[in-house]
Amino acid sequence: MPPHAISIGGCTITPETLPAWRQGKTGIMADLGDFLARWWSDTPTMPLHTSGSTGKPRPLHAAKEAMAASAAATCRAFSLQPGSTALLCLPLRYIAGQMMVVRAIVGGLNLIVTEPSSAPLETVQQSINFAPMVPMQAATTLALPGGKASLARVRTLLLGGGFVDAALEQQLQELPTRVYTSYGMTETLSHIALRATNGPERSESYTPLPGVSVSLSAAGTLQINAPFLGIQALATNDLAEITPDGRFRILGRADAVINSGGVKIQAEDIERALQTRTGLQVVALPLPHPVLGQCVALLWEGPAEAEPALRQACADLPRYHQPHILFPTALPRTGTGKIARAEAARLLLAYT
C-alpha cells in the first residue's frame, strides 16, 4: 500500500479518489473522510483533543511525522503486516480512533469500520487481526449471546481508555485471543507501553515499547521519554513504581488521593475493591469534612436493589476507606467511555 493510500473494507482510497468516496457518507464514515482530508493536506500537524477524563478537554497539535512513528511502533509491536485486518470502532474525535486510521495507512492494513457502540462486533462477521476497544465494549460483547465467539474471532485485542476490572480480566482468560492493556494518553499519541492481560505472559506491569523509557519524579509520578515521538521527560499525574528492568506498575493518580484524618487514600483502590465485590461502576471522591479535613464520598451507578450489597461491601473496607456518603447517579463519561472524574466531582458538589 503506498503511503498516500488506505484500504477501507478492501477498497483502496487515495487523495485523488477521496472526494468522490466522501460523497453521501454519514456517521463515522463521514468523520473518516474528514480525517483523511486533513491527514493528506499540506499541514504538518493534526488537531487533537485530550479525552477530558480528569478535566476539560484541551486542544493540542501533533506532528504527523510523530503520529506516523507511533503507528509504525504499534505495527511492529503486534507484528501487523500489510493486508492485516484492523477494526476501527472508536470515535474519531479522540486519539485512539485517529491512530487506528494512521496505522492502517502506515502499515498497509485493511481497515474494517463500524459505528462506535457498546457492542462493536455485532455487525462484524469476519476475522480481525487487531482490534482496539475500551473495556466497556469488551465487557458488553462478552455479556451478549455469542459474544465470546465474536471476540474469539479477534486475534489481538487491545484494551485502553479505562480500568479493566477483575471480573472482565477473569473472563478474558478463557479467550484464545491475545489481550493486552495499553498505557498512554493523547500527549503520547496513544499507547507507549503494554501489559499482557491474559495468557502465560499475563502481568500487572507495563512494558514500554522499544525506544520508550520511564522514570519517577520527586513526587513519585511517572515521567516518559520517547525521543522518536518528540517526547522528553513528559510529566504525568500517575503514581507508579518501576522495576529494575524498566517495566512499571501504575498505583493510582496523584490527583485521586483523598487525605482523610492524615491518612492518604488512593481513590482507585476503593473503586477497584468495590467494583470487584459488586460489579457496579463507582467513583470515589473527596468531600470536605469538619474534623477529618476530607472524607470519602461515593457516586455509584446501577439498579436500586444493588444498594444493600454495595453498602455491605463498603462496610468491609478499611475504616478510613469507608465512604461517608453514597449517591446513586448516572456517572458522566467521556466520548471514549472513561469516567469523567472532574464532572463527577461537580455532580458531587451539586448533591451536597
Same domain flag for 190 and 295? no
Rounded to 5 degrees, φ, ψ at 330 are -75, 120
- 198 is a domain residue: yes
The per-residue pLDDT string of the chain (352 residues; one tens digit each, 9 = 90 and over) reads 556 899 999 999 999 999 999 999 999 999 999 999 999 999 999 998 776 555 566 778 899 999 999 999 999 999 999 999 999 999 998 899 999 999 999 999 999 999 999 999 999 999 999 999 998 899 999 999 999 999 999 999 999 987 787 888 999 999 999 999 999 999 999 999 999 999 999 999 999 999 999 999 998 999 999 999 999 999 998 999 999 999 999 988 888 889 888 888 999 899 999 998 998 989 999 988 888 888 999 999 999 999 999 999 999 999 889 999 898 999 988 766 778 888 888 888 887 7
CA 199 to chain CA centroid, nearest Å:
21
- 246 is a domain residue: no
Q: How far is CA 239 from CA 45, 221, 292, in A?
A: 31, 4, 24
pTM of the model: 0.83
Question: How many Å apart are CA 286 and CA 211, to the nearest integer?
Answer: 38
Q: Give the residue numbers spanning the domain of 191.
A: 6-210
Grid look-up 487533537 returns 48
Predicted local confidence at residue 262, as pLDDT: 84
Q: For residue 279, give the CATH number of its domain.
A: 3.30.300.30
Same domain flag for 25 and 131? yes
| Domain count of the fold of the chain | 2
- 79 is a domain residue: yes
C-alpha cell at 249: 506498575
Predicted local confidence at residue 87, as pLDDT: 98
Does residue 8 contact residue 113 with C-beta atoms inside 8 Å? yes
H-state helical runs in the chain: 18-22, 27-39, 64-77, 95-107, 135-143, 147-152, 166-172, 267-278, 307-315, 341-351
Residues 6 or more apart from 216 whose CB is under 8 A from it? 222, 223, 240, 242
- 41 is a domain residue: yes
Same domain flag for 48 and 167? yes
- Mark which of 150, 176, 210 sits at the end of a domain: 210
H-state helical runs in 217-279: 267-278
C-alpha cell at 344: 463527577
